[in-house]
Amino acid sequence: MKIMVVDDEAPIRRWFSATIRKLSDEYQVTGSYAMAKEALAAIEKDIPDVVITDIRMPGMDGIELMKYARQRWPEIEFVILTNYAEFTYAKQAVAYGAVQYFLKSEVCENEIRDVLERISTGMAYKKQGDRAYLAPEIKERDWQQTAKGWGIDQDAVCGVLAFENFAGNIRQLLDRASAQYENARTFQNQGILYLFLWNNQGSLIGYGGMTELTHLVLEKEKQNKLSVGIASGTGTLQNAWQVVQQAEHALSYRFFEPDAGVYRYDQLKRQGTRTAEEIRAEYRDILERMACWSYQKLREKTDLLLKKAGLIQVDETAGSIDVCKRLALLLEEKGFQKCPDNPAQADLSARELKDIRECRQLCMDFIAQMEEADAPSNIKAVREAVRYIQDHYQEDISLSDLAKLSCLSPEYFCRLFKEETKETFGVYLMSYRLRRARELLRTTDMKINAVAASVGYSTAGYFSKIYKKYFGITPEQEKIKE
């Protein structure tokens, strides 16, 4: 694993470089740089797996370096170095995808070892998952050379059927089914079988005939869940190559409509309403949500992205599918980081994500897993918040203040607080203040307005109103009663 260290303090750079080299022979420090721009130039020449960078540096800072580098090389993992005064910057860095941040004054060798081991494991899992969407494609020049050998003229009319999930005898079926056409060839590439039809006379090879041919094959091949993408066009060899790609685009819609059979390019072209850039924007929004791990929001945003991904324009399906799978792999990686000893990790990591349904299931599984893993520490955070309320109930306390103290989002903190105390934050604070007020009314000679102020209410009138609503009697009656 190749690692780069970027910090304007030479002692920090030397210590990190020496520590990393000492941890494992598998860790190679490829560079140590004082300036982010120097590091960026070095990345251009030799892309590292991990960049450990300071936040505050002259010129370009560490967050700018990370944002720029991840746009061009999203596979690079970043670890951020920070001081106490820069904590908000560290949280921002996590929102942009940093794996970890270290406080310079406290970081130790074991922490570095742990994070590098997690990154190394995550990289291994990503390599397994990448097979699902980084398969190589036939190059246009190679295809045209082959097509010329078939005798295709410049003005040929052509149609393409792209088959996925086909059995071994499908070629014989296609040979018989395509006998009505003068010219037909099959070729295979990365799990897809193509039937290429052409007519040098210019007579049309239309969608209707190809759809009939497809249904004939599907009828014969009932035992297989065949998926077929169909496209048709006319013109030069270059246009013929575009028809091959259009058939692929149509077939890729199977990802969003699991178990469906036939996809016609002409019909799908009218259905798409989203662009790949809109889907990527949704993905970036989810990355920002991960900074505070608001699980409910994360779950909602993930579900929304996966729904919008299926509305993609037909020529941009590859980008949308890529985002869906990257999201699933990202959540898987984060889940592993939170639960490194989970025995289910290996099985889940080995799965190939074939459709949107599997992506959704994997994402939700890992969000639930991470939420469960955080539960003990989050319960502790709520209990600390309760103690804070009991110590500071006289002061102006807000839900957002307590959420910040707990390093949780307000929405998630609110839900956890209610689950642990059986009351909402507002009800709990009011109840605690009024119980303390009743104690003062019963045991002291303090006036009503003084009691109200001592438990956090600025006006005696409002205090009396909610006191009566809560206890059924006024503060004055409470004093008389005692």
DSSP annotation string for 407-457:
TS-HHHHHHHHHHHHSS-HHHHHHHHHHHHHHHHHHH----HHHHHHHTT-
Give the rounded percent of residues in the chain with a pLDDT score beyond 90.
18
Give Dmax (Cα) for the chain: 107
pLDDT tens string 12-25: 899 999 999 989 88
Distance from C-alpha of 178 to C-alpha of 332, rounded to nearest angstrom: 44
pLDDT interval class at 433 (50, 70, 90): very high
Output phi, psi for 34, to 5 deg. Answer: -90, -20
Beta-strand relationship, 50-54 and 77-82: parallel
Residues 258-282 have a mean pLDDT of 85
CA separation, residue 67 to residues 4, 86, 92, 381 (Å): 16, 17, 11, 31
pLDDT interval class at 168 (50, 70, 90): low
Residues 428-444 have a mean pLDDT of 92
pLDDT over 90 (residue 463): yes
Residues 26-49 have a mean pLDDT of 91
pLDDT tens string 287-335: 877 766 677 788 888 999 999 998 988 888 888 988 898 888 888 877 7
Contact 247, 280 (CB under 8 A): no
Q: Tell me, what's the pLDDT at 456?
A: 92
Contact 48, 2 (CB under 8 A): yes
pLDDT tens string 82-108: 775 555 666 666 656 677 778 777 788
Contact 236, 154 (CB under 8 A): yes
pLDDT over 50 (residue 6): yes
Q: Is the dihedral of CA 371, 376, 382, 384 positive or negative?
A: negative
pLDDT over 50 (residue 450): yes
Q: Tell me, what's the pLDDT at 269?
A: 80
Domains and CATH numbers, the chain: 2-130 (3.40.50.2300), 140-268 (3.30.70.270), 376-481 (1.10.10.60)
Q: Which helix (H) or strand (E) holds 71?
A: helix 62-72
Residues 36-63 have a mean pLDDT of 89
Q: Which residues pair with 400 in a beta bridge?
A: none
pTM over 0.85? The answer is no
